[in-house]
Amino acid sequence: MALVSTPATLERAVPAMDNAEVLRIRNDFPVLGQLVNGQPLVYLDSGATSQNPLSVIEAEQEFYEQRNAAVHRGAHYLAVEATEVFEGARETIAEFIGAGYAETVWTSNATEGLNLLSYSLSNAALWAAQGRGDARLKDLAVGPGDQIVVTEMEHHANLIPWQELAFRTGATLRYIPIDDAGALRLDIAAEILGSKTKVLAFTHASNVLGTINPVQELVALGRQAGALVVLDACQSAPHLPLNVKELDVDFAVFSGHKMLAPTGIGVLYGKQDLLDVLPPFLTGGSMITTVTMERAEYLPAPQRFEAGTQRISQAVALAAAANYLTETGLDRVHRWEAELGQRMVAGLESIPGIRVLGPAAGQERIGLAAFHVDGVHAHDVGQFLDSRGIAVRVGHHCAQPLHRRLGLTATTRASAYLYNTTDDVDAFLEAVAGVRSYFRV
Amino acid sequence: MSLDQLYQQIILDHSKARHGSGLAGIAVPAGASTGQSHQLNPVCGDEVTLRVAVEDGKVAQISWDGEGCSISMASASVLSELAEGMTVDELHAVIGNFREVLRSRGKIHADPEILGDAAAFEGVARYAARVKCAMISWVAAEDALNQAA
């Protein structure tokens, strides 16, 4: 059959990324062309926020130059144009993650998505108690005696909203611990999850350890318990092919600014049957059907969760970013970054006095590495690297409990993206090798 | 500005010597009144607990426990050495001067006559993200002084 190709021919058709391609990609990113402290910028902080290609910057500019108007209202030309590109962007993003159009809700960022969800779940308890809304809310509502389960490696954004949900509802928060290598203890997860578990929330890929979590196993445990499964896709959606339907999670969140888009835009994915019955979090304009002085009825998702004037230009820019990633090929990006991640870890492990967190060299990880330098505080490491034009993140990376578990307060993290070369990694490694002697350790 | 102007030798030395470090192991002079303050920078995790002992209107002793970067640890060490023997008012004035220099973004030069070894932190003023590192123990000292008074 002509349509079937062997892996070998596929390989020829779509070659793996290499430095030459990355150098071409870098031409699309104006910010990367500058000197920092007299040295070419080596940007290894994409895990915190990524840079924007011209196509994204231009998409936002084009919107303001040609189509700016409020969406979903007004019968004039610009309003129609704006609505069209805004909802077109939603279609692009839905397709990008394998979701349905109505299952793709705009948020400011992943943090807001998780807060939205947690407030929606405690509102569900209030609605159910008063017989308001769909009968299924009784099952979704989180209340006293229920359990919310997270993991020990979560970013604060996927921890604190659940702590507060537990506080508001009287539910108990529990967590799946990690082992010393940074992997989740699935055996303990199986013991923790049970019929009381209403929510299981975990990160797809750790922003500190670089581990990719076993989503399939965790979803199976969640299903067995009858819990809602929430995926933090902040470190996966920008870096690897993500299909929320294949993963079969109930909800997923990610931020635009970590995937080549501007700040101020993010996505909450939710299964349609859940989103359509869950109570809204923010209320106001644009999300209602009928309003009287006493009460209001709400639209189904996605508008149900999009009160007020939306982030229109940012949504358009996010769609442009998704297109950029799709055109480059996320499987290729993933493989390239995995190679950079391995190069980082292998190099770091060979430098005396460095402790790399998470999986050892040779084991699967995404394109980032956090590490501790014996005798030198992370802030000093970051300052030293900055003097050589190298941008990394220092601190607890919004994961204090994880650092405490590892016996550390702050680490240094290098995180790569599709615009980093192996030369970037080598420059970083060479600089790290000089840290301890500079600080006379 | 070069990294060496930030990390002057005196700072690197103090970050290791840590003068006044070890609250539990340092006895408070008999008859002194004390104040203690804990300061935390949630951004980086730098942490200092600093105790001031005041006797006859003078700083008899500064001791502290802390964890953090070389700038924050060296700053606490320099402060402990510098402050001993000053009157409470003198130390308040020196803290005020140090803060003014550090917040000036490099516009106000440090006067070694006033700041002694702490003048070495002048370079920190040009690194906005590091000013809090240098200030943390001084903020603790100010708070502790008010309590001891």
Q: What angle do CA A239, A240, A246 make, to 5 degrees?
A: 140
Mutant choice from B6, B14, B44 vs A, greatest count of A C-beta within 10 A: B44
A203 and A254 in a single domain? The answer is yes
Q: Is residue B98 part of a domain?
A: yes
Same domain, yes or no, for A46 and A106? Answer: no
Q: Quick one: pLDDT at residue B44? A: 77
In terms of domains, do A86 and A27 share one?
no
**Any domain includes A181:** yes
Q: Are residues A322 and A358 in the same domain?
A: no
The answer to whether A164 touches A148, Cβ cutoff 8 Å, is no
- With left for phi above 0 and alpha for psi between -120 and 50, is residue A72 left, alpha or beta? left
Looking at the domain assignment, is residue A1 inside a domain?
no
Asked if A291 and A416 sit in the same domain, the reply is no
Q: Are residues A195 and A321 in the same domain?
A: yes
Q: Which residues, given as ranges, of chain B have pLDDT below 50? A: none
Report if residue A272 sits inside a domain: yes
For A180-225, the pLDDT digits (tens) are 889 999 999 999 999 999 999 999 999 999 999 999 999 999 999 9
Predicted-complex ipTM score: 0.92
Q: CB-CB: which of A377, A387, A440 is closest to B69?
A: A377
Residue B133: CATH number of its domain: 3.90.1010.10
Instruction: Name chain A contacts of B48, Cβ cutoff 8 Å.
Output: none
The residue range of the domain holding B53 is 3-22+32-148
Of the residues A309, A326, A343, the one at which a domain ends: A326
Question: Which of A305, A326, A347 finishes a domain?
Answer: A326
* Number of separate domains in chain A: 2
Task: Give the dihedral of Cα atoms A178, A184, A190, A192; nearest 10 deg.
Answer: 40
Same domain, yes or no, for A163 and A288?
yes
Cα–Cα distance between A121 and A162 in angstroms, integer?
10
pLDDT at residue A2 in the model:
45
Asked, for residue A58, whether it belongs to a domain, the answer is no
* DSSP-assigned letters across all residues of B43-57: TT--EEEEEEEEETT
State the residue for tokens 């308890």. Answer: A125
The boundaries of the domain holding residue A15 are 7-52+329-438
- A373 → chain B, closest CA residue: B69
Q: Quick check: is A431 in a domain?
A: yes
| Chain A residues in contact with B68 (beta carbon < 8 A) | 377, 379
Predicted confidence (pLDDT) per residue in B113-129, tens digit: 999 999 999 999 999 98
Answer yes or no: do A362 and A225 share one domain: no
- How many structural domains does chain B have? 1
**What CATH number is given to the structural domain containing A337?**
3.90.1150.10
Choose one of A277, A310, A326: the last residue of a domain.
Answer: A326
* pLDDT recorded at residue A315: 98
Omega cis (within 30) before A262 = no
Residue A341 and residue A202 share a domain = no
What is residue A12's predicted lDDT score, i.e. its pLDDT? 54
Nearest CA in chain B to A398: B43
Contacts 24+ apart (CB under 8 A), A280-287: A280/A120, A280/A123, A280/A304, A280/A305, A280/A307, A281/A115, A281/A116, A281/A117, A281/A119, A281/A120, A281/A123, A281/A305, A282/A116, A282/A307, A282/A308, A283/A307, A284/A308, A285/A309, A286/A72, A286/A73, A286/A310
A60 located within any domain: no
Distance of CA B51 to the CA centre of its chain: 12
* Same-domain pairing of A45 and A77: no
Do A379 and B130 make contact, defined as CB atoms within 8 angstroms? yes
Chain A positions with Cβ closer than 8 Å to B: 376-380, 383-384, 387, 394-396, 409-410, 438-440
At A348, give phi and psi (nearest 5°). -65, -40
Low-confidence residues of chain A: pLDDT under 50:
1-6, 9, 11
Let me know whether A252 and A354 are in one domain: no
Q: In chain A, whose CA is at the least distance from the CA of B43?
A: A395
In a domain, residue A57? The reply is no
Structure tokens at A392: 């990394």
Q: Is residue B27 part of a domain?
A: no
Kindly state whether residues A342 and A233 are assigned to the same domain: no
